[in-house]
C-alpha cells in the first residue's frame, strides 16, 4: 500500500495522524542531535577523544589528535591549531606567530576560559634570549601552575603562542591578572643576574639589540591583540606591565619589564609602549621598515631608543 493510501485509509483517524507526526518529529530530532554530536566530536562526557586529523589556519595537515592531548575541563586538545585567523577578522595584520601550545603543562590542563580584560607585558627575569627554551620549561608536566600566552624571542623576534588567548593563565600569581593575556619577552644573555634580581650588562650593544628586537615584536603582537579584542591601548588598564599590575594590587610584586628596560640601557617606558601600540594600530609598518635591520630603524616608535 502506498504511503498516500495508508494515510488516507479510513482506519487511520485523527489520533493516528498525530501519533505519526510525533514519531516522525522525534526521529528527525534524534537524527539532528546525533549529527550535532558527531560533528562536535562526541558526547559531553567523552569530549573530543576520537582521533582526528587537524590542520592549521591555512588548511595544512599537522597530524592527529588523540587521548593524550586533553584540554581544560577534561576535553581533548581542540586548541592545538588555533591561530586567531580562523575565528576573527582584524584590521591590524596578524604578525607571524609560531603555534607552540603547551598541551602538557599544568596550566593548560587545569584552568578554564576567560574573557580577557587586557594584556600584561612581562620580561622573563633570567639572562636567556631563546623563547623556545623558556616555553619548554613552562610546558613540562611537572612544572608548576604558571603559564603565559606567548613568549617573544629576543634574538630573532619570533613569537611563540603557548596558550589559547582565551584561556586563564597564571602569569602573575592568583590575583585578577589571571584575566589578562600574558606575554613574556625574553631578555639578554649579554649579562648576568645577581641574587637581588638585578641585571648586570656586560655587552651594552648586544643587550640593547635584544631589548629592541623583543620590543618591536611586542608592539606588533599587542597591536593585533588590541584590535582583535577591541582594546584601546591608551585606555586605563588595557595594557599594563607586571610592575603596574603589582601596584594595582592584581599581581605579584615584580618589577618587570620596567626594571629590565632600565638595566638593559634603554629608555623604554610603559607609556611609550602604549603609544607605540596605538601608532602601529593606526599606521602599520612601512615597507622600508619591514626590510631594514633593527639598527637602521629610527624614529618610528615614540618609545624606542635608537
φ and ψ of 160, to 5 deg: -100, 125
Cα→Cα distances 85→1, 95, 188, Å: 56, 11, 31
Would you tell me which CATH number, out of the four given (3.40.50.620, 3.90.1150.10, 3.40.80.10, 2.60.120.680), belongs to the domain 82-296? 3.40.80.10
**In 17-107, where do the E strands start and end?**
52-55, 61-65, 97-99
Cβ count within 10 A of residue 86: 12
**Contacts of residue 277, Cβ cutoff 8 Å, sequence gap at least 6:** 219, 222, 223, 226, 233, 239
Q: What is the pLDDT of residues 220-262, one digit of tens each?
A: 999 999 999 999 999 999 999 999 998 888 887 888 899 999 9
Distance CA 47, CA 274 (A): 40
Euclidean distance between CA atoms 238 and 69, whole angstroms: 32
Cβ partners under 8 Å of residue 150, min gap 6: 97, 159, 160, 161, 162, 163, 181, 182, 183, 184, 221
Q: Residue 67: what pLDDT?
A: 30
Judge whether 146 and 171 are in contact, CB under 8 Å: yes
pLDDT of residue 89: 64
Pairing of strands 239-241, 159-161: unpaired
| The pLDDT of residue 251 | 80
Per-residue pLDDT tens over the stretch 171-198: 877 777 788 999 999 999 999 999 888 8
Residues in the chain predicted with pLDDT less than 70, given as ranges, are 1-89, 286-306
CA-CA distance, 287 to 218, in Å (whole number)?
19
Query: Beta strands 239-241 and 118-123: pairing type?
Result: parallel
The three cell numbers locating residue 13: 483517524
Taking the C-alpha atoms of residue 69 and residue 80, their distance in angstroms, rounded to an integer, is 9
Residue 38's pLDDT is 30
Domain boundaries, the chain: 1-40, 82-296
Single pTM value for the model: 0.69
Amino acid at each position: 500500500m502506498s504511503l498516500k493510501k495508508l494515510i488516507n485509509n479510513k482506519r487511520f483517524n485523527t489520533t493516528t495522524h498525530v501519533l505519526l507526526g510525533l514519531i516522525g518529529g522525534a526521529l528527525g530530532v534524534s537524527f539532528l542531535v546525533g549529527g550535532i554530536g558527531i560533528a562536535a566530536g562526541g558526547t559531553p562526557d567523552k569530549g573530543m577523544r576520537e582521533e582526528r586529523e587537524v590542520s592549521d589556519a591555512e588548511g595544512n595537515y599537522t597530524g592527529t589528535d588523540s587521548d593524550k592531548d586533553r584540554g581544560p575541563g577534561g576535553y581533548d586538545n581542540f586548541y592545538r591549531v588555533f591561530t586567531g585567523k580562523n575565528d576573527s577578522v582584524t584590521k591590524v595584520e596578524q604578525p607571524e606567530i609560531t603555534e607552540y601550545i603547551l598541551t602538557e603543562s599544568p596550566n593548560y590542563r587545569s584552568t578554564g576560559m576567560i574573557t580577557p580584560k587586557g594584556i600584561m607585558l612581562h620580561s622573563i627575569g633570567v639572562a636567556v634570549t631563546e623563547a623556545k627554551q623558556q616555553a619548554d620549561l613552562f610546558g613540562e608536566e611537572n612544572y608548576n601552575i604558571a603559564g603565559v600566552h606567548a613568549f617573544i624571542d629576543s634574538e630573532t623576534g619570533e613569537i611563540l603562542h603557548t596558550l589559547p588567548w582565551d584561556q586563564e593563565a597564571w602569569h602573575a600569581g592568583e590575583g585578577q591578572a589571571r584575566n589578562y593575556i600574558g606575554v613574556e619577552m625574553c631578555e639578554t644573555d649579554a649579562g648576568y643576574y645577581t641574587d637581588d634580581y638585578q641585571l648586570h650588562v656586560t655587552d651594552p650593544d648586544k643587550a640593547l639589540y635584544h631589548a629592541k628586537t623583543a620590543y618591536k615584536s611586542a608592539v606588533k603582537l599587542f597591536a593585533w591583540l588590541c584590535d582583535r579584542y577591541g582594546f584601546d591601548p591608551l585606555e586605563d588598564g588595557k595594557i599594563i606591565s607586571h610592575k603596574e599590575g603589582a601596584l594595582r594590587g592584581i599581581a605579584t610584586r615584580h618589577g618587570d619589564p620596567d626594571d629590565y628596560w632600565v638595566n638593559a640601557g634603554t629608555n623604554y617606558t610603559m607609556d611609550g609602549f602604549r603609544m607605540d601600540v596605538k601608532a602601529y594600530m593606526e599606521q602599520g609598518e612601512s615597507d622600508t621598515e619591514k626590510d631594514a635591520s633593527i639598527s637602521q630603524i629610527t624614529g618610528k616608535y615614540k618609545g624606542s631608543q635608537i
